[in-house]
């Protein structure tokens, strides 16, 4: 248990600087990724220990935006999906339609998700 907590803290220290800057969508969903992750309009790649992931999920739920979630550490689909995107292991990653958002900009993700 302590080992897992230490590993989580170490990973958080490595990942947090990469995700704190906000979201950008200059990346399009790679071909074939939707077949792997499913065709829900919003798909999140997260981990259980990520505070930014929890915050983004709360914001999406408050806005009534449905999403599918894949944990990059506990599901093979999540691991494979994250490995097909740039940015190392930065999380959360929001895939909305054919756009990919890295970071915690819930407003941008919600706005994109609510477009027809």
Contact call for residues 104 and 22 (beta carbons, < 8 A): yes
User: Which one is predicted more confidently, 57 or 2?
Assistant: 57
Contact call for residues 97 and 90 (beta carbons, < 8 A): no
For the record, the structure tokens of 49 come out as 């220990």
Answer yes or no: is pLDDT of 20 > 50.
no
The pTM of the full predicted model, rounded to 2 decimals, is 0.77
H or E segment and range at residue 94:
strand 93-96
Distance of CA 63 to the CA centre of its chain: 17
Radius of gyration for the alpha carbons in the chain, expressed in angstroms and rounded: 13
Instruction: From the options 3.40.50.720, 2.40.110.20, 3.40.30.10, 2.60.120.560, give the CATH code of 2-113.
Output: 3.40.30.10
Non-local CB neighbours of 2 within 8 Å, separated by 6+ positions: none
Which string of DSSP letters, residue by residue, matches 20-61? TT-----EEPPTTHHHHH-S-SEEEEE-TT-HHHHHHHHHHH
User: Predicted confidence band at 12 (pLDDT cuts at 50, 70, 90)?
Assistant: very low
Burial 31-55 (b: 16+ CB within 10 A, else e): eebbeebeeeebbbbbbebbebbee
Average pLDDT in the chain: 82
User: Predicted confidence band at 6 (pLDDT cuts at 50, 70, 90)?
Assistant: very low
User: Residues 72-108: pLDDT tens digits?
Assistant: 999 999 999 999 998 777 899 999 999 999 988 899 9
Query: What local confidence, expressed as pLDDT, does residue 87 receive?
Result: 78
Query: What local confidence, expressed as pLDDT, does residue 25 receive?
Result: 58
């Amino acid at each position: 248990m302590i080992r897992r907590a230490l590993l989580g803290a170490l990973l958080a220290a490595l990942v947090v600087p990469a995700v704190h800057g906000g979201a950008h969508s200059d990346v399009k969903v790679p071909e074939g990724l939707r077949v792997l992750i499913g065709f829900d309009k919003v798909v999140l790649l997260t981990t259980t220990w990520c505070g930014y992931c929890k915050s983004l999920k709360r914001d999406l739920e408050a806005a009534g935006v449905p999403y599918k979630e894949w944990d990059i550490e506990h599901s093979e689909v999540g691991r494979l999906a994250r490995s097909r995107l740039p940015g190392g292991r930065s999380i959360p990653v929001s895939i909305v339609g054919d756009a990919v958002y890295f970071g915690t900009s819930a407003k941008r993700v919600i706005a994109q998700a609510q477009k027809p």
